[in-house]
Chains A and B, each alone.
Chain A
Amino acid sequence: MAPVSALLKRCLMSSLLIAFGQSAFAQTAADDIAKYREMIADGNPSELYEMSGEELWKKPAGPKNATLEKCDLGLGPGVVDGAAAVLPKYFKDTNRVQDLESRLMTCMDKLQGIPSQGIIDAKFGAGPKKDMDAIVAYIVTHSKGKKINVSTAHPKEKEMYAMGKRAFFFQGGPFDFSCASCHGASGKRIRLQDLPNITTQEGAALGWGYWPAYRVSSGQFWTMQQRLNDCFRQQRFPFPIYGSDVTIALSMYMAKNANGGMIQTPGLKR
């Protein structure tokens, strides 16, 4: 009992420090950052990616010289509107839960004859991943304004969610970080950037609902796969393989937690 009460006492002490230690200046800075974000919201360069993505979707490519227009992203062959709002999802033909990127790789393989390995191995923003970025921008733009509606009805979906939750809290690397280190509590910031609390519906919707996004600091459009990849890099973890289960499981955890929230993609992020 003693240790818990000691822990509690310390927790209360530090919360007092946090609550009253926050200066008015920090609040002003946060307001100014909000103003900055508002000012850049108009004219999201993601639109440039979306434009070329639409072309790529409709252009015959690969050894089979076929388009992606018959690709089933979960709402039936060729249905793009709202597709990103129901992913990740279990697909019978692959017997796997897939996110947008892994599903697109399946379509490119099956419809166009483009092997997935080349996409997995490519550098971000280069070669076949560049095309993938554009196609993702096109797809997610067509879910903007839709409600996030991810199912865990299928046992494999349920299992993926549970694995994602466990992965979210998994600490490792020389910094002892897990996703939860930064995204497990509300009202937290790194530097001046607000950290959404992914364990809550509100926070998960802020995270999941705004990615993929154009990232101002790198001047690039980032898919969720790239976003997660950079999270793991900053976590000082080894390199998550593109489209691997841990990335899909974490996406499932975020998306399901975000259910009911609004898709606002493509976002515009620092």
Chain B
Amino acid sequence: MNQQRRALIKYSAVFGLMASAGLISVAQAEEWNKAAFEGKSLDDVFKSLGASSPDKSSAVTLNAPDIAENGAVVPVGISTTLKAEQMAILVEKNPSTLAAQFFLPAGTEPFVTTRIKMGQTSNVYALVKADGKWSMAVKEIKVTLGGCGG
């Protein structure tokens, strides 16, 4: 616990340094959202993101397989017809719910793909913030056991 706190202080220090060195933009350093990444439930993360209760929207597409052959690498993408300024990927049953979040300046397409780890079969949420309002898409991704298991 103590160690974790120290590590967090260290992140902040590092971000401060990097920001002043111009390596990571100031906006980003300020926004690195500790509370959101430590959230243990959907509600925790929604709250930390200032999303309260996002509405499901057909304008948001979560691009992911129905079954992952391996939970260590699950491809997940978000695209939307909305003018997205921020996006986030949440995995309901992971130890930390928030997997990643993205900030899209004007001129960047509302599209992102990455790969995440999933400990077990779970609902995965794609959140999109556009014009200050959060919307989302949900999909269950099954994680299977594979190989000989030895």
> A interface vs B, CB < 8 Å?
29, 32-33, 35-37, 39-40, 190-193, 216-217, 219, 233-234, 270
Contacts and interface: CB of A to CB of B under 8 A. Distances in A.
A217 B147 CA distance: 10
Contacts of A217: 70, 72, 146-147
A25 to B, nearest CB: 11
A233 B147 CA distance: 13
B150 A36 contact: no
- Nearest first, the 8 closest Cβ-Cβ pairs linking A and B are A36-B65, A32-B67, A39-B75, A216-B73, A234-B148, A32-B66, A216-B70, A270-B69
A110 B30 CA distance: 55
B133 interface: no
Contacts of B70: 216-217, 270
Given A39-B75, A40-B73, A216-B72, A270 B147 contact: yes
Contacts of A35: 65-66
A36 B75 contact: yes
Interface of B: 63-70, 72-73, 75, 115, 144-150
A191 B66 contact: no
Nearest to B68: A36
Contact of A190 (B64, B73, B115, B148): B148
Contacts of B68: 36
A192 B143 CA distance: 12
B150 A233 contact: yes
A191 B72 contact: no
11 contacts: A32-B66, A33-B144, A40-B75, A191-B147, A192-B146, A193-B146, A193-B147, A216-B69, A217-B147, A270-B69, A270-B146
Contact of B65 (A39, A191, A193, A233): A39
A33 B148 contact: no
A217 B145 CA distance: 11
B73 to A, nearest CB: 4
Most B Cβ at <10 Å: residue of A36, A216, A219: A36
A45 to B, nearest CB: 9
Given A39-B75, A40-B75, A40-B115, 6 more contacts: A29-B67, A36-B68, A40-B73, A216-B69, A217-B70, A219-B72
B134 to A, nearest CB: 26
Nearest to B141: A36
A4 B66 CA distance: 45
B97 to A, nearest CB: 22
Nearest to B114: A43
Nearest to B71: A217
A33 B72 CA distance: 14
Most A Cβ at <10 Å: residue of B64, B70, B115, B149: B70
Contacts of B66: 32, 35
B72 to A, nearest CB: 6
B148 A192 contact: no
Nearest to B75: A39
A141 to B, nearest CB: 20
Contacts of B67: 29, 32-33, 36, 192
B150 A191 contact: no
Nearest to B76: A39
A35 B75 CA distance: 11
A267 to B, nearest CB: 14
Nearest to A32: B67
B72 A234 contact: no
Contacts of B148: 190, 234
A218 to B, nearest CB: 8
